[in-house]
Amino acid sequence: MTVYLVRRLVQALFVVLAMSVIVFIGVFAIGDPVEILISPDADQIERERAVRALGLDLPLWHQYLVFLGNALQGDLGRSFVFNEPALKLILQRMPATMELAFGAMFIALLVGLPLGLYAGLRPNSPASKTIMAGSILGFSLPTFWVGLMLIMVFAVQLGWLPSTGRGETCSVLGFVGLQPCNVGLQWSWLTGDGIAHMMMPAINLALFKISLVIRLTRAGVRETMLMDYVKFARAKGLSPARVTFVHVFKNILIPVVTVVGLELGSTIAFSVVTESVFAWPGMGKLIIDSINVLDRPVIVAYLMIIVLMFIAINLIVDLTYSMLDPRVRLETKGA
Amino acid sequence: MSQAVMNGAAPAAPRKDKVETPFRRFVSEFAESKVAMGGLIVFTIIALVAIFASWIAPQNPYDLAQLDIMDGRMEPGTVGGAGFTFWLGTDDQGRDMLSGIMYGLRISLIVGAGSALIACVVGATLGLLAAYAGKKTDTVIMRLVDLQLSFPSILVALMILAFLGKGIMNVVIALVIVEWAYYARTVRGTALVERRREYIEAAQCLALPTHRILFRHLLPNCLPPLIVVATMQVARAIALEATLSFLGLGVPITEPSLGLLIANGYEYMLSGKYWISFYPGIALLVTIVSINLVGDQLRDVLNPRLKK
Amino acid sequence: MAAPTLEVRNLRTHFFTRAGIVKAVDDVSFTVERGKVLGLVGESGSGKSVTGFSIIGLVDPPGRVTGGQILFQGRDLAKISEEEMRDLRGNRIAMIFQDPMMTLNPVLRIDTQMIETVQAHKKVSREEARQRARDTLGMVGIPSPDERLMAYPHQFSGGMRQRVAIAIALLHEPDLIVADEPTTALDVTIQGQILAEVQKLAQTTGTSLIWITHDLSVVAGLADDVAVMYAGRIVEKGPVSEVLDAPLHPYTAGLIGSVPSRNKRGEPLRQIPGMTPSLLNLPPGCAFRSRCPRAAEACMAEPGISEILPGRETRCFFPMNTPAEQAA
């Protein structure tokens, strides 16, 4: 297990390094950073001084090493727009995105698992066919448009839910993070107003995942129901509930957990869209705004953090998977 | 001579109908699903509307001279200053939404299908190469595929647009970079199975040039899964383009695609002027659903594992 | 003598597929006495497994038991509710499946899979159930059962898994075990061990056994009676030794003839010509007639099953090895 873990960590490290090179070249080498970093009305001497101060006269590999060194110390540059450390800006907005993403995943499982289970157990009933047709729609609906329609119906027409923003937040976990950023975590889901604000964005973000969970669960149930061990479980005289929820469900949970876990990353990425629609002040809205005004340090910080998050998520999912499936566990022990 | 040939061919035609060619079987199996046929018909209509937009649309929405700001934000069904009815209303610049949607569809389809096509060529070539060459080439290409597929499409597209800046060409580039990996993975998977078949060995024994083996022998046999992936990817590309345009990273504001039309309506949504966002969204939805329905059925028909 | 453990009368199990009705089991009758072993023999697709599943009530749609009686200790299993049936399953009637690699749930530990079976039918504590599981594992010859209980199925060999499956079947000391080719997937040596143990267990506990197999040599060593199935019907049944020595039905004779060990060295292997007919829209008349060396005009009609010799029944107009024929 330890060997496996170490190997995975080393792999992850290489991916992070590779991505840092890509991001560095992508953001700093394409286009002229001098144009962006230095005020246009600066004269020649000022420019040269700034270029030297910023290390832009160094060869590219040297610049990259400086960038990497700073990054390791938590310094990913300062935002031109906010004039604050980029990392701090991102981390401040992270709780909003995380609670939205987790809310969406929670909704996806809460709705998708039972529906998928039902559709898998009674594949030919009209209700199952409706569920499956709905899931095709869920895959096809453009997220941002559904978001707008939600606002139109529930905020504008019915007036039940607030259309934008995070609502009242509640600071629970104040913690001192990396050196340049002391962040008190603000949460919406702990206040009633916050929940009301979270409702629509979370449902919006969950739509695609609900369809995914339904499809995965249904396919898994149908496949597992044909297995001999399910028939054997029935032959043992177990109750249908036990057969379904222990023998079938536990087997399905493995692929579903894997995919849903992997989807956490994509949920966070896709929250870019939902956050823009609902003006949810998270990382996603920040990155779109930053791309629009070419606030490069923030873009870099966002990309690096997202990459780190993805690698962490992949690692955690793999480990969870091996804990759930005894067959994988044995292989990794052997490795 | 040609007359004789035609005369000779005519009586043979009805008999030929009964011969079951793989293509005929494919068509009849595809037609088994009414839903999929409906999807195909709807998509054909959409494609025709998009192609002939400049003839059938009541207005050229990109020609600023034809737009009258006085017609701005009119409800569906009102008659505008130019004398024709705005069946789907107008947007804030007085653009007829129906015309806007037709032209927007055109951009969405061109960007979606175009990027899918380029990605298909790039991805299929690399996939074939990986499967055929094996060893290091395979490892390098597939590592790249794995790396890219571990990040969601929207993130990769955002990253690329952050590097390259906005614009329609950059959106196409982003879509190609997002999509090629799916094609490469699919083609490599099938090609790995196919290349062990006897006909490839036979072609190798005949000392045919590699490119000929790859494209004339191996590729045609990898087509079925490739077609399925391509269909689905066109739908994904259209959706992604719309999303990027909605976020303001896509097409220019003067020539709006469906996504941008929807975005333009966003601020008026809150004051109850729903139509600016609503109708382009419906058009987008119908397009994507119809392609997905066709793709779903294609997958069932072309998947040998599901054959009874 | 007490009532037989199981009496199946005119059982019909049909599958209603889109292509038509498949008569997988058609008019099958047999009796299993207490403590006896019935060998149910036939090629794949002859309906022997479906017969087994019909008895335990696990025929899934599109299949359905459409007629006949399954009298288990006098109760007709075809008539009782699913609740009542579940009460019997794994308790009074147990089943062992063909492929031991597939019958145990890969994500559940052995103890979970055994304890749930105990607790499904007896209100006992977890500890008592575990005790019972441990004892039964020991009974089927699994060393250090305590350790093995904590293991997952993939940590066992095929033979060991089948022993576990047998142990699960034995947990409630059932009156009847339906074993569906339980040794087919195993090595020959392990097959022998398991056969010997099952026979011993059946004798000591008085459990009746239906042993479904395509292997006549297994039946020869294990069963008291044998029923031979062909195309969903029983074509011959009787005491094992008599049937194997002097088969009445040409199909039985063909089966016996095609067992390699029974042929003399150097002689070409005999085989039954042709293939098993499709059960979908089976033509009327004797199903075996197209492959039968004795087929005649009369075989266009459906032969009934009749007792030709004491205790020996067959479904054939022209039975072999009858006293009259032997005299001739």
**Which of A162-176, B158-172, C12-26 is predicted least confidently?**
A162-176
Q: pLDDT at residue B236 above 50?
A: yes
The alpha carbon of residue B239 is apart from the nearest alpha carbon of chain A, in Å, by 6
Interchain proximity B269–A145, CB inside 8 Å: no
The alpha carbon of residue B195 is apart from the nearest alpha carbon of chain A, in Å, by 30
Angle at A321 between CA A320 and CA A323, to 5 degrees: 65
C266: left (phi over 0), alpha (psi -120 to 50) or beta: left
Q: pLDDT at residue A220 above 60?
A: yes
Q: A149 and A254: one domain? A: yes
The alpha carbon of residue A241 is apart from the nearest alpha carbon of chain B, in Å, by 30
Residue matched to tokens 């873990």: A5
List the single residue in A with minimal CA-CA distance to C95. Answer: A235
Interchain proximity C89–A237, CB inside 8 Å: yes
Q: A61 and A93: one domain? A: no
Q: pLDDT at residue A333 above 50?
A: no
pLDDT for B274 equals 76
Confidence of residue B12 (pLDDT cuts 50, 70, 90): very low
In a domain, A232, yes or no: yes
pLDDT for A115 equals 92
Residues of C within 8 A of A238 (CB-CB) are 86, 90, 116-117, 120
pLDDT for A172 equals 54
Interchain proximity C152–A239, CB inside 8 Å: no
Interchain proximity A251–C152, CB inside 8 Å: no
Interchain proximity A232–C117, CB inside 8 Å: no
The last residue of a domain, from among A72, A99, A120: A72
Q: pLDDT at residue B172 above 70?
A: yes
Confidence of residue A176 (pLDDT cuts 50, 70, 90): very low
Q: A45 and A96: one domain? A: no
Residues of A within 8 A of B272 (CB-CB) are 156-157
Residue matched to tokens 């003598």: C1
Minimal CA–CA distance to A300: which of A13, A67, A74, A23?
A: A23
Q: What is the mean pLDDT of chain A?
A: 77
Least CB-CB distance to A242: which of C56, C116, C121?
C116
With residue C12 as reference, give the H or E element that holds it: strand C6-17
Interchain proximity A136–B289, CB inside 8 Å: yes
Read off the pLDDT of each residue in B27-46 and give the average, rounded to a whole number: 81
Rounded percentage of chain B residues whose pLDDT exceeds 70: 81
Residues of A within 8 A of B243 (CB-CB) are 142-144, 273
Beta carbons within 8 Å of B224's beta carbon, 6+ residues apart: B190, B302, B303, B304
- Which range among A39-43, A46-50, B79-83, B85-89 has the greatest average pLDDT? A46-50
Q: What is the mean pLDDT of chain B?
A: 78
- Other beta carbons less than 10 A from residue C299's beta carbon: 19
Rounded percentage of chain A residues whose pLDDT exceeds 70: 80
Angle at B188 between CA B28 and CA B238, to 5 degrees: 65
In angstroms, the CA B102 to CA B258 distance is 9
In a domain, A331, yes or no: no
In a domain, A204, yes or no: yes
Q: What is the mean pLDDT of chain C?
A: 83
- Residues in B 140-159 with any Cβ partner in A closer than 8 A: 147, 150-152, 154-155, 158-159
Residues of C within 8 A of A229 (CB-CB) are 102-106
Domain extent listing, chain C:
6-92+175-327, 106-171
* Chain C positions touching chain A (beta carbons under 8 Å): 56, 58, 86-91, 94-95, 97-99, 102-108, 113, 116-117, 120-121, 152, 154-155, 165, 168
Confidence of residue B18 (pLDDT cuts 50, 70, 90): low
Measured distance between the N- and C-terminal CA atoms of chain A, rounded to whole angstroms: 8
List the single residue in B with minimal CA-CA distance to A24. Answer: B163
Interchain proximity A237–C116, CB inside 8 Å: no
Interchain proximity C89–A239, CB inside 8 Å: no
3-state secondary structure of B80: coil
Confidence of residue B119 (pLDDT cuts 50, 70, 90): very high
> Please, are residues B167 and B248 in contact by the beta-carbon 8 Å criterion?
no
With residue A278 as reference, give the H or E element that holds it: helix A249-278
pLDDT tens readout for residues A40-61: 666 777 777 777 766 666 777 7
**Buried b vs exposed e over C118-147: b needs ≥16 C-beta within 10 Å?**
bbbbeeeeeeebbebbbebbebbebeebee
Residues of A within 8 A of B281 (CB-CB) are 142, 145, 148-149
pLDDT tens readout for residues A68-115: 887 777 777 777 777 788 888 888 888 888 888 889 988 999 999 999
The token duo for A285 is 């809205």
pLDDT tens readout for residues C131-164: 888 888 888 888 888 888 888 888 888 888 888 8
Confidence of residue A177 (pLDDT cuts 50, 70, 90): very low
| B288 in A contact zone (CB under 8 Å) | yes
Residues of B within 8 A of A151 (CB-CB) are 269-270
In angstroms, the CA A205 to CA A275 distance is 9
Q: A113 and A205: one domain? A: yes
**What is the domain range of residue A182?**
88-324
- Give the count of Cβ contacts less than 8 A between chain A and B: 109
The token duo for A157 is 């027409």
pLDDT for B271 equals 74
Q: A152 and A56: one domain? A: no
Residues of A within 8 A of C106 (CB-CB) are 229, 251, 325-327
In angstroms, the CA B179 to CA B186 distance is 12
The alpha carbon of residue B135 is apart from the nearest alpha carbon of chain A, in Å, by 20
| A25 in C contact zone (CB under 8 Å) | no
Q: pLDDT at residue A235 above 50?
A: yes
> Please, are residues A76 and A181 in contact by the beta-carbon 8 Å criterion?
no
Confidence of residue A280 (pLDDT cuts 50, 70, 90): confident
**Buried b vs exposed e over B27-36: b needs ≥16 C-beta within 10 Å?**
eeebeebeeb
Angle at A40 between CA A38 and CA A43, to 5 degrees: 85
Read off the pLDDT of each residue in A306-315 and give the average, rounded to a whole number: 82
Residue C174 DSSP one-character state: -
Q: A225 and A271: one domain? A: yes
Beta bridge partners of B126: none
Read off the pLDDT of each residue in B116-139 and give the average, rounded to a whole number: 87
> Please, are residues A104 and A205 in contact by the beta-carbon 8 Å criterion?
yes
In angstroms, the CA A27 to CA A32 distance is 10
In a domain, A330, yes or no: no
Q: pLDDT at residue B67 above 70?
A: no
Confidence of residue A186 (pLDDT cuts 50, 70, 90): low
Residue C304 DSSP one-character state: P
Q: In what order do the strands lie in the sheet with C63-72?
A: C20-32, C6-17, C63-72, C75-76
Minimal CA–CA distance to B227: which of B294, B139, B128?
A: B294
The alpha carbon of residue A32 is apart from the nearest alpha carbon of chain B, in Å, by 12
> Please, are residues A221 and A120 in contact by the beta-carbon 8 Å criterion?
yes
**Total residue count of chain B as it appears in this document:** 308
Q: pLDDT at residue B160 above 50?
A: yes
Q: A166 and A289: one domain? A: yes
Interchain proximity A151–B292, CB inside 8 Å: no
Q: A94 and A46: one domain? A: no
> Please, are residues C146 and C134 in contact by the beta-carbon 8 Å criterion?
yes
| B162 in A contact zone (CB under 8 Å) | yes
Give the CA distances from residue A134 to residues A120, A129, A293, in Å, rounded to whole numbers and listed in that order. Answer: 15, 8, 39
pLDDT for B306 equals 44
Q: pLDDT at residue B13 above 50?
A: no
Least CB-CB distance to B269: which of A23, A156, A307?
A156
Least CB-CB distance to A306: which of B155, B165, B284?
B155
Q: pLDDT at residue C185 above 60?
A: yes
In a domain, A23, yes or no: yes
> Please, are residues B280 and B195 in contact by the beta-carbon 8 Å criterion?
no
Beta carbons within 8 Å of A61's beta carbon, 6+ residues apart: none
Interchain proximity A269–B152, CB inside 8 Å: yes
C60: left (phi over 0), alpha (psi -120 to 50) or beta: beta
Query: β-strands A182-187, A170-176: how paired?
Result: antiparallel
Residues of B within 8 A of A317 (CB-CB) are none
Q: pLDDT at residue B118 above 90?
A: yes
**Total residue count of chain C as it appears in this document:** 328
Minimal CA–CA distance to C257: which of C276, C270, C240, C275?
A: C270
Minimal CA–CA distance to B35: which of B306, B299, B301, B297?
A: B297
pLDDT for B1 equals 39
List the single residue in A with minimal CA-CA distance to B268. Answer: A152
What is the count of structural domains for chain A? Answer: 2
10 Å CB burial of residue B149 (0-12, 13-18, 19+) is: middle
pLDDT for B308 equals 35
With residue A317 as reference, give the H or E element that holds it: helix A296-324
pLDDT for B6 equals 42
Q: Where are the alpha helices (DSSP H) in B209-257?
A: 210-212, 219-246
pLDDT for B122 equals 92
Least CB-CB distance to C102: which of A229, A242, A247?
A229
In angstroms, the CA A16 to CA A308 distance is 7
Interchain proximity B164–A30, CB inside 8 Å: yes
Confidence of residue C264 (pLDDT cuts 50, 70, 90): low
Choose, out of C105, C121, C122, C150, the residue to mutate when testing the contact with A (most A CBs < 10 Å): C105
In a domain, A82, yes or no: no
Minimal CA–CA distance to B231: which of B40, B45, B49?
A: B40
Q: pLDDT at residue A330 above 60?
A: no
Query: β-strands C208-213, C176-180: how paired?
Result: parallel
pLDDT tens readout for residues A133-153: 888 888 888 888 888 888 888
The alpha carbon of residue A127 is apart from the nearest alpha carbon of chain C, in Å, by 19
**Which of A56-65, A239-248, B257-266 is predicted least confidently?**
A56-65
pLDDT tens readout for residues C205-261: 788 889 998 888 888 888 889 999 988 888 888 898 888 888 888 888 888 877 766
Work out the angle between the directed axes of helices B22-31 and B275-302 (0-180°, nearest 10).
Answer: 130
In a domain, A233, yes or no: yes
Rg value, chain A, Cα: 24
Interchain proximity B289–A137, CB inside 8 Å: yes
Of C97 and C278, the structure prediction assigns the larger pLDDT to: C97
What kind of fold does domain C6-92+175-327 have according to CATH? Answer: Rossmann fold (3.40.50)
In angstroms, the CA A74 to CA A82 distance is 18
pLDDT for A38 equals 60
pLDDT for A111 equals 92
Q: pLDDT at residue C171 above 80?
A: yes
Q: A66 and A155: one domain? A: no
In a domain, A192, yes or no: yes
pLDDT for C2 equals 63
Interchain proximity B248–A156, CB inside 8 Å: no
Confidence of residue B82 (pLDDT cuts 50, 70, 90): low
The last residue of a domain, from among A72, A99, A133: A72
Q: Where are the alpha helices (DSSP H) in A122-227?
A: 126-140, 143-150, 192-225
Counting as contact any 3 or more CB pairs under 8 A, the partners of C are A
The alpha carbon of residue B205 is apart from the nearest alpha carbon of chain A, in Å, by 41
Interchain proximity C106–A229, CB inside 8 Å: yes
Q: A115 and A221: one domain? A: yes
Residues of C within 8 A of A121 (CB-CB) are none
The last residue of a domain, from among A16, A38, A72: A72
